[in-house]
Amino acid sequence: MNWYYKFSVLFLLIFLSCKSDPGTSGEITPPQLVSINPPNDAKDVSENITEIMLYFNENVTLKTPYTITLNGSPLNNIQPGIQKDLKIPVSGLKISTVYTLIIPANTIKGPSGIFIDKEIKSTFTTYTPPIRKFSPQTQKVMDFLTQTYGKKTISGTMANVNWNTEEADWVYALTGKYPALNCFDYVHHIYSPSDWIDYSNTSVVENWWNANGLVSIMWHWNVPANTAGQYAFYLGSENNQTLFDVSKISDINSDEYKIMLKDIDIIADYLKLLKDKNIPVIWRPLHEAAGNTNSYTGGKAWFWWGGKGAVPFKILWKFMFDRLTNYHKLDNLIWVWTSEGNDPDWYPGDAYVDIVGRDLYPESNVHASQLYEFNKVKAIVDNHKMIALSECGGIPDPNLMFEKGDTWLWFMPWYGDFTRKDTQNGIYWNTVMSNSNVITRDQMPSLK
């Protein structure tokens, strides 16, 4: 075989090899869409998203003018310059809505100038809230809260320890106006009924509701303390604390499970008395569960129901929710979960929570805006729940609330010095109760 023949054969083989490999031959191809976010057919996409992202295998540009639509409406704020990841800004999405993005053929091209010659179409569905079934009166309360949220803030006070309106009466004596909400506490259920506390006597709650006040109830849940015959809710090894193991909620044969079940059923009977009188309850159990767990290294829960971490806490929350809602048929409860602002892993889930609370006790600038804390909670629930200042020291300036944006659904100072002392609130109540952004009890509609 002469050299000329050998060279010809080699040239032919190289040529054929290049023809069979488009990458080697320099064949020009359009860009390829690698992925899209939200993905096609995605469900429960947040209605608060601000962009749809398209990812390509190479840099792309848009032809101008372009026509890109979301549910038929043009999207006009897209940067047409060279970019590998195409960002499509969106806003104002609504819940429970199917959205379809359409990018017509010959809209996107690569560096070679070759356009994608096929339409890009992607569909997603936004978040659908869980369905909650309330009694008629409770639905009216929920509707009122929903209509109020972001427009005004509801004034509130805490009972002086358990089953009274003493702090609300004090505010009335000072300002001539009652707060719209009063929170009671089943803290002493282990001693009820007795001559000094009897939760079956609901007259104080009935009177408040009949005067158009909103009823809230929390539960400092006392369980057997480390000292026999004593009770406690604070977590710890001291005699007046408890090492009660919340994780035993998953062990139906344990003594702890039996105590928790028994106590929940006792509280259910008290709540039934209010249901039978058509009184809705803004129900805030198991509050501040995370404590300082996520606040700093070595941080701990301060109540026993948070003592074993987020997982058993959520099991207990869901157990209580199911027991009260489905077993005891208590449809007069509006459930409030209390966040520490840094505890998304402790959130029981949208199906088990109606409102989110935040408890704040600032040591300085006690009437300053609390927008930073408000936004932390807002992010945890993706703005899907109303947010209340479920406990506080100083009440934030109501004008600042609506100027800055921390529009708490309600505020509720703790009892005693937090309500009455001037360094916390005290005389400041006069300013608060006369503010046009604040709802007092005399401004409440009848929700019966």
Same domain for 72 and 176, yes or no, is no
Same domain for 193 and 240, yes or no, is yes
DSSP one-letter string for 166-206 = HHHHHHHHHHS--BSEEEEE-TTGGG-SSSS--TT--HHHH
pLDDT at 250 over 70: yes
Same domain for 170 and 57, yes or no, is no
Please work out, in degrees rounded to the nearest 5, the angle formed at the alpha carbon of residue 137 by the alpha carbons of 134 and 143. Answer: 75
Tokens 């959130």 label which residue? 347
- E strand or H helix that includes residue 401: helix 398-404
Mean pLDDT throughout 293-309?
Answer: 95
Same domain for 81 and 144, yes or no, is no
Residue 79 pLDDT class (50, 70, 90 cuts): confident
Instruction: Give the orientation angle of helix 310-322 with respect to helix 255-276, to 10 degrees.
Output: 40
In a domain, 18, yes or no: no
Mean pLDDT throughout 365-377?
Answer: 97
Q: Is 58 a catalytic residue?
A: no
Same domain for 211 and 319, yes or no, is yes
Q: How far apart are CA 187 and CA 222, in angstroms?
A: 7
pLDDT of residue 2: 54
Question: Would you say 348 and 339 are in contact if contact means Cβ atoms under 8 Å apart?
Answer: no
263: domain CATH number?
3.20.20.80
Mean pLDDT throughout 366-394?
Answer: 97
Of 47, 256, 340, 391, the active-site residue reads 391
3-state SS class at 155: strand
Give the pair of three-digit tokens for residue 114: 């070759």
Mean pLDDT throughout 324-331?
Answer: 98
Mean pLDDT throughout 30-49?
Answer: 96
Residue 18 pLDDT class (50, 70, 90 cuts): very low
List 120's β-bridge partners, or say none.
103
Total number of domains in the chain: 2
Q: How far apart are CA 299 and CA 126, in angstroms?
A: 37
List 181's β-bridge partners, or say none.
156, 214
pLDDT at 269 over 60: yes
Q: What is the pLDDT of residues 199-219, one digit of tens each?
A: 999 999 999 999 999 999 999
Q: How far apart are CA 17 and CA 22, in angstroms?
A: 10
Q: How far apart are CA 350 and CA 291, in angstroms?
A: 21
In a domain, 290, yes or no: yes
Q: What is the pLDDT of residues 397-421, one digit of tens each?
A: 999 999 999 999 999 999 999 999 9
In a domain, 273, yes or no: yes
State which of 102, 126, 150 marks the end of a domain: 126
pLDDT of residue 244: 98
Same domain for 117 and 199, yes or no, is no
Nearest to 421 by CA among 373, 370, 366, 369: 366
Q: Is 333 exposed, middle or buried (0-12, 13-18, 19+ CB in 10 A)?
A: buried
pLDDT of residue 26: 59
Mean pLDDT throughout 120-135?
Answer: 96
Same domain for 217 and 357, yes or no, is yes
Tell me the HSE value of 265 on the side-chain side, using a 13 A CA sphere: 7
Q: Is 288 a catalytic residue?
A: yes
> 46: Cβ–Cβ under 8 A, 6 or more apart, which residues?
126, 127, 382
In a domain, 203, yes or no: yes
Q: How far apart are CA 89 and CA 221, in angstroms?
A: 48
pLDDT of residue 10: 47
In a domain, 10, yes or no: no
Q: Mean pLDDT for the chain? A: 94
pLDDT at 15 over 70: no
pLDDT at 83 over 90: no
State which of 126, 144, 177 marks the end of a domain: 126
Same domain for 304 and 397, yes or no, is yes
Same domain for 232 and 141, yes or no, is yes
pTM of the model: 0.89
**How many residues are present in the chain?**
448
Of 47, 256, 288, 373, the active-site residue reads 288
Q: What is the pLDDT of residues 218-242, one digit of tens each?
A: 999 999 999 999 999 999 999 999 9
State which of 126, 151, 179 marks the end of a domain: 126
pLDDT at 134 over 80: yes
Same domain for 179 and 42, yes or no, is no
Q: How far apart are CA 86 and CA 37, in angstroms?
A: 11
Residue 362 pLDDT class (50, 70, 90 cuts): very high
In a domain, 3, yes or no: no
In a domain, 9, yes or no: no
Residue 14 pLDDT class (50, 70, 90 cuts): very low
Residue 9 pLDDT class (50, 70, 90 cuts): very low
114: domain CATH number?
2.60.40.1220
How distant, in Å, are the alpha carbons of 150, 184, 200, 215, 388 from that of 282?
18, 10, 18, 6, 11
pLDDT at 24 over 60: no
Q: Which amino acid is at 448?
A: K
Same domain for 334 and 428, yes or no, is yes
Q: What is the pLDDT of residues 137-189, one digit of tens each?
A: 999 999 999 999 999 999 999 999 999 999 999 999 999 999 999 999 999 99
User: Considering only 3-7, 102-106, 248-252, 299-303, which range has the smallest mean pLDDT?
Assistant: 3-7
Same domain for 105 and 140, yes or no, is no
DSSP one-letter string for 307-340 = TT-HHHHHHHHHHHHHIIIIIS--TTEEEEEEE-
pLDDT of residue 81: 83
Mean pLDDT throughout 344-359?
Answer: 98
Q: What percent of the chain stands above pLDDT 90?
A: 91
pLDDT at 16 over 50: no
In a domain, 210, yes or no: yes
Q: Supply the range of the domain harboring residue 47.
A: 24-126
